[in-house]
């Protein structure tokens, strides 16, 4: 009786001798907890395929929500150092790396790289590529698969030998300006940064070949477009390292509050204007032609046909590119063909400055092909510059401009290593910086050795041992353009100057923003070339 009374007195939840009654607050709390528990179990169940694969792999530490994000916190130099360190720790076997709550699996071995890059289930770019859309829109680089398929099919035939041959007068003209501009550095003992000259040259070349527009940053460095291009790249890369800016609406507000939205507006203003003017010119030329086709002659002068011209011709044939799509493809080509080439050229010339014996060998080949005159280089000449191409490829191997390629699987894909089946939704992190430094493929992989790319050594290796231009159906469409333009610049440079530096290979430090580049620039000095083959010198 006493126990019953005590129970009655101490319980505020009894009623009419019945059981407990919960307050509305308690009911809400229990409902929320139950809902969270159900959500958690549903979340874990839906991710069981990822968890199963991840359990079989090693990888860096992971934490809730941020995943392995702490590995990528720091300065651009610290980030690339940590990425390289990860590959030193885990080797070339696949390892897991949680990208927030998404499973990432690194793919380094050429056999696995080939499977992923050639799979129809791995054509979609990862969601991180959306950060570039403010700059390049939905061009071939960042377009979703459906749009990419259509545009790639239409644009691929554009990059034929005839179009590339038309670009050579532009290559030669712009490199002659480079040669004249460099004269001010002769006789100086203090090194200058190659970037200050090379970047302007590649930008002027790509503007003229892509849009038919002479930007002239080599002669007039005060260019709003060039400045906007640099700032847009910095802004996109900054966003990658600041997760709070990932949501588009937050980033949009941030841009407006800081005034940075003007950067993208300025970047797109020039292509938009050029497209408008060229469409008008294109229509006028067509109207003047009795056969209702494009007149490629202007008196005795042949009309220069650039990338944008060919896109407009495709439109006439029924491609139906909108003005926005034209702009996106042109800007994609311009960014892909300017900074990437500039970085590779600066690294290549720096390597030749460090390795004088290799520079001499390159020059001897140039002298053998072009002689000691001032004739301009042709597309046929470039095919004979075999050792120079080896040097460029070795530069791209050692310092791949894009050290990471991210693909999101649209279905399960099985790879050789570890007999893993990667589930749909996995992000495949394909890493040229890892593949290019596998010791079994490239002995002394952090040294500079152009012989890695002589015919005999290339034939010994798997085709996907070199992926500087990616590979498979979604590989770089402008790889031939890039190689030709870089051959012209390096050969023109070395015909006029020898390049020198006091730094060593071990002094070079890397940094990663959107692209991988030298953290301390590309310091060199130059001397006039006496235009004699080095092998004849005493």
Residue 373 confidence class, pLDDT cut points 50, 70, 90: confident
Q: Please spell the DSSP secondary structure of 43-57, one letter per residue.
A: HHHHTHHHHHHHHTS
Contacts with 450 (C-beta within 8 Å, 6 or more apart), sequence order: 358, 387, 390, 391, 393, 394
Given a cut of 70, whether residue 47 has pLDDT beyond it is yes
Rounded average pLDDT over 78-99: 93
Q: What percent of the chain has pLDDT over 70?
A: 92
Q: Greater confidence, 198 or 225? A: 198
Poorest-pLDDT segment among 159-163, 378-382, 452-456: 159-163
Please, what is the Cα angle at 487 between 484 and 490, to 5 degrees?
150
CA atoms in the 13 A half-sphere facing the CB of 339: 20
Q: What is the mean pLDDT of residues 256-274?
A: 87
207 known member of a binding site:
no
Q: Mean pLDDT, to the nearest integer, of 514-531?
A: 92
DSSP three-state, residue 500: strand
How confident is the model at residue 435, as a pLDDT?
Answer: 97
Which of 22-31, 508-517, 522-531 bottoms out in mean pLDDT, i.e. has the lowest?
A: 22-31
Confidence of residue 236 (pLDDT cuts 50, 70, 90): confident
Residue 3: is its pLDDT beyond 70? no
- Mean pLDDT for the chain overall: 87
Q: What is the tens place of the pLDDT at every residue in 419-471?
A: 899 999 999 999 999 999 999 999 999 999 999 999 999 999 999 999 999 99
Q: How far apart (Å, rounded) are the C-alpha atoms in residues 299 and 326?
A: 29
* pLDDT average, residue stretch 55-72: 88
Of the candidates 463, 503, 371, which has an alpha carbon nearest to the alpha carbon of residue 114? 463
CA torsion sign for 57, 63, 65, 70 is: negative
Q: What is the pLDDT of residue 181?
A: 95
The answer to whether residue 260 scores a pLDDT higher than 60 is yes
Burial of 362 from C-beta contacts in 10 A (0-12 / 13-18 / 19+)? buried
> So what's the pLDDT on residue 302?
55
- What pLDDT does 251 receive? 87
Superfamily name and number for 55-289+304-528: Cytochrome P450 (1.10.630.10)
pLDDT of residue 166 exceeding 50, the answer is yes
Q: Is the pLDDT of residue 65 over 70?
A: yes
Q: What is the C-alpha to C-alpha distance for residues 290 and 273, in angstroms, rounded to an integer?
A: 28
Would strands 301-302 and 421-422 be described as parallel, antiparallel, or unpaired?
unpaired
8 A C-beta contact, residue 269 and residue 261: no
Q: What is the pLDDT of residue 432?
A: 96
- State how far the Cα of 204 lies from the Cα of 341, in Å rounded to an integer: 12
Categorize the per-residue pLDDT at 124 as very low, low, confident or very high, splitting at 50, 70 and 90: very high
Q: DSSP letters along 397-449, please?
A: HHS-SS--EEEE-SS-EE-SGGG-EEPTTPEEEE-HHHHTT-TTTSSSTTS--
So what's the pLDDT on residue 536? 52
Q: What's the pLDDT score for residue 135? A: 85
SS3 288: helix
Q: Is the pLDDT of residue 297 over 50?
A: no
pLDDT band at residue 15 under the 50/70/90 scheme: very low
What is the average per-residue pLDDT within 382-396?
Answer: 97
Instruction: Check residue 473 and give its pLDDT.
Output: 94
Give the pLDDT score at 405: 93
Task: Indicate if the pLDDT at residue 502 is higher than 90.
Answer: yes
Please give the pLDDT value at position 19.
Answer: 57
pLDDT band at residue 377 under the 50/70/90 scheme: very high
The whole-angstrom separation of Cα 417 and Cα 382 is 39
Q: Among 48-57, 184-193, 284-293, 454-463, name the one with the lowest average pLDDT.
A: 284-293
Residue 222 three-state SS: coil
43-47, 175-179, 233-237, 296-300 — which is least confidently predicted? 296-300
Q: Which of 161, 116, 144, 172 is nearest to 420 (CA)?
A: 116
Residues 107-111 have a mean pLDDT of 96
pTM of the model: 0.88
Q: Where is pLDDT greater, at 301 or 315?
A: 315
Q: How confident is the model at residue 301 (pLDDT cuts 50, 70, 90)?
A: very low
């Amino acid at each position: 009786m006493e126990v019953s009374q005590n129970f009655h007195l101490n319980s505020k939840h009894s009623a009419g001798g019945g059981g407990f009654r919960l307050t509305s607050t308690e009911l809400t709390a229990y409902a929320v907890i139950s809902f969270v528990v159900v959500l958690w179990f549903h979340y874990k169940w839906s991710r069981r395929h990822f968890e199963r694969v991840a359990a079989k792999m090693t990888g860096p530490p992971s934490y809730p929500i941020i995943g392995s994000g702490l590995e990528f916190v720091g300065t651009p130099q610290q980030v690339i150092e940590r990425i390289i360190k990860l590959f030193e720790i885990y080797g070339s076997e696949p390892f897991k790396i949680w990208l927030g709550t998404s499973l990432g699996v690194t793919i380094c071995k050429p056999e696995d790289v080939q499977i992923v890059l050639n799979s129809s289930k791995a054509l979609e770019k990862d969601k991180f590529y959306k950060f570039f859309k403010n700059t390049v829109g939905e061009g071939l680089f960042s377009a979703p698969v459906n749009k990419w398929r259509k545009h790639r099919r239409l644009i691929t035939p554009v990059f034929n030998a005839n179009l590339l041959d038309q670009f050579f007068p532009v290559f030669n003209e712009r490199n002659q300006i480079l040669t004249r501009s460099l004269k001010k550095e002769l006789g100086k003992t203090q090194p200058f940064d190659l970037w200050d000259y090379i970047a302007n040259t590649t930008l002027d070349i790509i503007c003229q070949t892509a849009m038919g527009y002479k930007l002239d940053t080599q002669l007039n460095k005060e260019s709003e477009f060039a400045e906007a291009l640099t700032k847009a790249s910095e802004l996109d890369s900054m966003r990658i390292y600041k997760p709070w800016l990932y949501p588009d609406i937050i980033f949009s507000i941030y841009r407006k509050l800081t005034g940075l939205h003007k950067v993208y507006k300025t970047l797109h203003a020039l292509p938009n204007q050029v497209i408008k003017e060229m469409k008008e010119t294109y229509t006028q030329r067509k109207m003047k032609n009795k056969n209702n086709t494009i007149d490629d002659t202007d008196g005795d002068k042949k009309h220069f046909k650039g990338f944008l011209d060919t896109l407009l011709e495709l439109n006439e044939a029924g491609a139906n590119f909108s003005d926005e799509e034209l702009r996106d493809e042109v800007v994609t080509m311009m960014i892909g063909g300017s900074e990437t080439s500039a970085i590779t050229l600066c690294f290549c010339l720096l390597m030749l400055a460090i390795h004088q014996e290799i520079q001499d060998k390159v020059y001897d080949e140039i002298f053998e092909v072009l002689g000691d005159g001032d004739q301009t280089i042709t597309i046929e000449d470039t095919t004979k510059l075999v050792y120079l191409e080896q040097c460029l490829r070795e530069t791209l191997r050692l310092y791949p401009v894009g050290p990471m390629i991210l693909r999101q699987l649209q279905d399960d894909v099985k790879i050789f290593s570890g007999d893993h089946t990667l589930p749909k939704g996995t992000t495949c992190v394909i890493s040229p910086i890892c593949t290019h430094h596998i010791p079994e493929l490239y002995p002394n992989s952090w040294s500079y050795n152009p012989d890695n790319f002589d015919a005999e050594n290339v034939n010994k290796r798997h085709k996907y041992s070199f992926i500087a231009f990616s590979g498979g159906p979604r590989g770089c469409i402008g790889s031939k353009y890039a190689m030709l333009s870089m051959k012209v610049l390096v050969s023109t440079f070395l015909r006029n100057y020898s390049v020198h530096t006091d730094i060593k290979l071990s002094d070079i430090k890397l940094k990663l923003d959107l692209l991988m580049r030298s953290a301390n620039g590309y310091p060199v000095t130059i001397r006039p070339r006496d235009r004699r083959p080095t092998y004849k010198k005493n």
